[in-house]
Amino acid sequence: MGSLGRHGFVWGLLAPALIFFCVFNVVPLIWMVGLSFYNYTLTTGNPPMFNGIDNYLSLLSDPSDWSAFSRTFLFMLLTVSLSGLIGSLLGLVFWGSKNLPGRRIALTMLFTPMLLTPASVGVFFKLMLNPNFGVISYIAELFTGHRVDFLSHQMSAQIAVLLVDVWMWAPFMTLITLAALASVPQAELEAARVDRLGWFATLKRVIFPHAKFILMLGLLLRTIDAFKTTDVVLLLTHGGPGASTELLGMRIYRLGFNSLDMGNASTMGVVALLIAIGFTSLYLYVLSLKRVEG
């Protein structure tokens, strides 16, 4: 087979994936960016009208949009911190107990939430939090003497969304932590034991320098995932009560599918994409600095 034939064969293998990527990623992205410069609401029946950057200026002056951004950043900070902390601690526990009986079964059960779709998790916890027959409300009644509707109060609904997301993704950070710890050379760990380094000193001087890159990658993926959280909120609280759990993804969903305001929904989608790119660039920059320092 000649060089031209080999190139044709390679492109033939890549073509289905490239076509799929272009049709379902590139084309919608270009359409969304273009639509963000138009005033286009499906309920009016009017054709799209070009309005330049008016949608972006409207976004900057709309308190509802700013509230959605602030709630999203707070949610992202809390869920990434909690899932990262819990996941790292569980990873250290399982890493240090390799001969523990039932370890594999415990790990399998721990990773189960990762295998569930966010939609099923949202429905599952909504049923558990139901004030009439939910098991969590029943347990709350044993302590308070009355049924508690967690999803009808702002603070409890926000805490519920946060804890459900942490429950679902802390196992992912456990998996990332185990992968990071597996990259630590055994020879250096043995040397630390011979030198009688303490647990904290071993963690700081031996484990973390090798594990930090994989951990940073896990935090990057977790941050982006938390930033675009929509499906759990949609099925658990639908952004309520009021707009107390309306994260950025839920705000875009309401604009696009409830109000059918395609122009403003596309504008928020473009801004969300730029923020996600910014987070990715920041993490990669920090990683590059750490590599240079290393």
Whether 79 has a pLDDT exceeding 90, the answer reads yes
pLDDT tens digit sequence for 246-291:
999 999 999 999 989 999 999 999 999 999 888 888 887 877 766 6
Angle, CA 43 vertex, CA 40 and CA 48 arms, to 5°: 20
Has domain 63-293 been given CATH number 1.10.3720.10? yes
**Whole-prediction pTM value?**
0.88
Domain positions in the chain are 63-293
173 confidence band (pLDDT: 50, 70, 90): very high
Mean predicted lDDT score pLDDT of the chain: 87
